[in-house]
């Protein structure tokens, strides 16, 4: 069912009239607390700029980032690629280390569990493991999947995904049929009950409506949050950044009165909670890409239909040569190494000749018999892409990684990134990182392209723009 976006939005109350971001930014600057974003794949940096991303969480690294004046830091966990048990243990370890680092530095912190705006990921498992490791009272668990840049809106408790010029209830999209994280409900309150496998009832899940946000403003949100207690689950409706500003303002006021919350959100909430001023899209000249002998490298592991259409459009560019990696062959132990060697050798040859190269996995989806086996297959495919990039010896002019798990594994394993700087976005929802000097390819422009973002021409347009430097 496709709903007309203009008609739906026309029926909503008008947005709150006041710009609240300056006051939020001032409050964040006054606060001594560090906002720590645990990102289950690297695409969560898609709304921020001028911040650091860590790929490890040992105590010493956390002490370092807590000692720095910046108010926000991302920690890339890539937990969406893991089994539930592995993801929970990772979160417990990370939060325990964070508590230790906090005591060492006397720096308080607030945790945001950032995940997919189309509702995929380990929920509620990750939040439960965070709470276990924190071992402290929390009044509410706030669920806020709004993500404007990707066309994800929540109204009347229904979460919508923008597709083909209209809004589709999330439970009717291909994301809801995900082999590892599938679901049925579009109503967020029902979705929470579904994910808790009926361990909670619908009346246990509170809701902050758009009517409350837009008619009552920060004071009404504050009162609603003050009423939460004993880890009450609460879904939050939002259809614009101004809605998020109202929510964050009410939230900060409630926290000032002693209330404590854990957040499971998409990327848009993070920017506002951190008081980060929006900036325009990066221009090619902002990236510092120096045209040279080598071409650029695109690695595409995402298998959803949106990604497939983008790959097809990319292949129409004269500058691009495509190399398909056969997934069935990768999953055969006797043929896997030869396939990796074949693709890496040809990619190297083309890059050296000055061609851009798109290495992409074959488009037929191969799923396991259950969610765990499907994750294992995804991990094996991603690992093969890592091995291909590792085998390329000469650094390309730039790298685009398509898909969250792919982007994380290429960054941490193939490029050995321990810390990167988020420069901004080159397209809506598409982040650009600059790798640190201690990475395999220092100061590389690394473009994190989510699987579920952009129209059919999105990657092709970014690649074309990268040839307009200077």
CATH code of the domain in which 243 resides: 3.40.50.10840
Give a yes or no: residue 279 inside a domain.
Answer: no
Q: What angle do CA 452, 458, 462 make, to 5 degrees?
A: 125
Are 448 and 422 contacting, i.e. CB atoms less than 8 angstroms apart? no
The two three-digit tokens of residue 216, written as one number: 């009552």
pLDDT attached to residue 369: 72
Extract long-range pairs of 168-174: CB within 8 Å, 24+ residues apart. Answer: 168/1, 168/2, 168/3, 169/1, 169/3, 170/118, 170/119, 172/1, 173/118, 174/304, 174/305
Q: How far is it, in rounded angstroms, from Cα 56 to Cα 54?
A: 6
Are 411 and 42 contacting, i.e. CB atoms less than 8 angstroms apart? yes
Q: What angle do CA 309, 314, 315 make, to 5 degrees?
A: 100
pLDDT attached to residue 141: 98
Give a yes or no: residue 297 inside a domain.
Answer: yes
Give a yes or no: residue 21 inside a domain.
Answer: yes
- Residues 460, 339 share a domain: yes
- Residues 266, 311 share a domain: no
Residues with Cβ within 8 Å of 385's Cβ and at least 6 positions away in sequence, in order, are 299, 301, 325, 359, 361, 406, 409, 410, 414
Phi, psi dihedral angles at 233 (to 5 degrees)? -75, 140
The two three-digit tokens of residue 156, written as one number: 């009347």
Give the relative orientation of helices 241-256 and 217-226 as an angle to the nearest 10 degrees. Answer: 50
Task: Report the greatest alpha carbon distance in the chain.
Answer: 64
Residues of the chain with pLDDT under 70: 290-292, 363, 365-366, 469-470
Q: How far is it, in rounded angstroms, from Cα 413 to Cα 304?
A: 23
Query: What is the pTM (predicted TM-score) of this model?
Result: 0.90
- Residues 327, 366 share a domain: yes
Give the relative orientation of helices 336-352 and 371-390 as an angle to the nearest 10 degrees. Answer: 40
- Residues 401, 356 share a domain: yes
Domain boundary among 239, 273, 307: 273
Domain boundary among 250, 273, 296: 273
- Residues 339, 297 share a domain: yes
Give a yes or no: residue 96 inside a domain.
Answer: yes
Domain boundary among 254, 273, 292: 273
Q: Which structural domain, as residue segments, surrounds residue 396? A: 284-466
Of 271, 206, 192, the closest CA to residue 236 belongs to 206
Of 195, 179, 445, 401, the closest CA to residue 298 belongs to 401
Give a yes or no: residue 379 inside a domain.
Answer: yes
What is the DSSP annotation of 113-155? EE--TTS-S-TTHHHHHHHHHH-S--SEEEEE--BGGGTEEEE
- Residues 111, 196 share a domain: yes
H-run or E-run covering 240? none
Structural domain count, the chain:
2
Instruction: Give me the CATH number covering residue 320.
Output: 3.40.980.20
pLDDT attached to residue 308: 85
- Residues 115, 259 share a domain: yes
Burial of 285 (0-12, 13-18, 19+ CB in 10 A): exposed
- Residues 297, 256 share a domain: no
- Residues 165, 16 share a domain: yes
């Amino acid at each position: 069912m496709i709903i007309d976006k203009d008609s739906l939005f026309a029926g909503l109350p008008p947005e709150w009239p006041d710009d609240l971001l300056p006051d939020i930014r001032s409050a964040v600057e006054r606060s001594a607390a560090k906002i720590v974003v645990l990102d289950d794949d690297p695409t969560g940096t898609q709304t921020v700029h001028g911040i650091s991303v860590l790929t490890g969480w040992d105590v010493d690294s956390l002490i370092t980032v807590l000692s720095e004046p910046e108010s926000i830091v991302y920690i890339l966990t890539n937990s969406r690629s893991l089994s539930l048990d592995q993801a929970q243990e990772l979160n417990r370890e990370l939060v325990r280390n964070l508590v230790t680092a906090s005591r060492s530095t006397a720096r308080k912190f607030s945790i945001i569990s950032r995940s997919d705006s189309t509702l995929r990921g380990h929920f509620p498992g990750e939040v439960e493991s965070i709470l276990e490791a924190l071992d402290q009272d929390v009044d509410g668990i706030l669920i806020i999947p709004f993500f404007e840049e990707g066309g994800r809106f929540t109204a009347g408790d229904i979460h919508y995904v923008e597709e083909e010029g209209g809004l589709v209830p999330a439970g009717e999209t291909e994301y809801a049929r995900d082999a590892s994280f599938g679901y049925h409900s579009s109503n967020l309150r029902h979705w929470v009950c579904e994910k808790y496998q009926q361990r909670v009832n619908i009346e246990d899940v509170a809701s902050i409506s758009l009517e409350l946000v837009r008619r009552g403003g920060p004071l009404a949100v504050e009162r609603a949050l003050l009423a939460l207690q004993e880890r009450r689950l609460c879904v939050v409706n939002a259809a614009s950044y101004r809605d998020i500003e109202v929510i964050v303002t009410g939230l900060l006021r409630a926290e000032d009165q002693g209330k404590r919350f854990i957040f499971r959100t998409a990327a848009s909430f993070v920017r506002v909670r951190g008081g980060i001023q929006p900036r325009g899209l990066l221009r090619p000249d902002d990236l510092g890409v120096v045209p040279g002998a080598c071409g650029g490298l695109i690695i595409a592991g995402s298998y959803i239909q949106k990604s497939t259409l983008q790959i097809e459009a990319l292949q129409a560019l004269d500058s691009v040569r495509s190399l398909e990696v056969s997934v069935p062959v990768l999953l055969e132990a006797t043929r896997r190494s030869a396939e990796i060697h074949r693709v890496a050798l040809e990619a190297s040859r083309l890059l050296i000749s000055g061609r851009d190269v798109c290495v992409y996995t074959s488009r037929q989806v191969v799923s396991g018999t259950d969610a765990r086996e499907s994750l294992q297959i995804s991990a094996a495919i991603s690992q093969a892409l890592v091995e291909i990039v590792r085998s390329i010896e000469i650094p390309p002019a730039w790298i685009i990684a398509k898909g969250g798990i792919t982007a994380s594994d290429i960054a941490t394993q193939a490029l050995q990134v321990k810390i990167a700087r988020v420069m901004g976005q080159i397209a809506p929802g598409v982040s650009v990182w600059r790798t640190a000097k201690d990475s395999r390819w220092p100061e590389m422009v690394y473009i994190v392209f989510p699987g579920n973002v952009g129209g059919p021409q999105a990657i092709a347009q970014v690649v074309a723009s990268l040839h307009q430097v200077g």
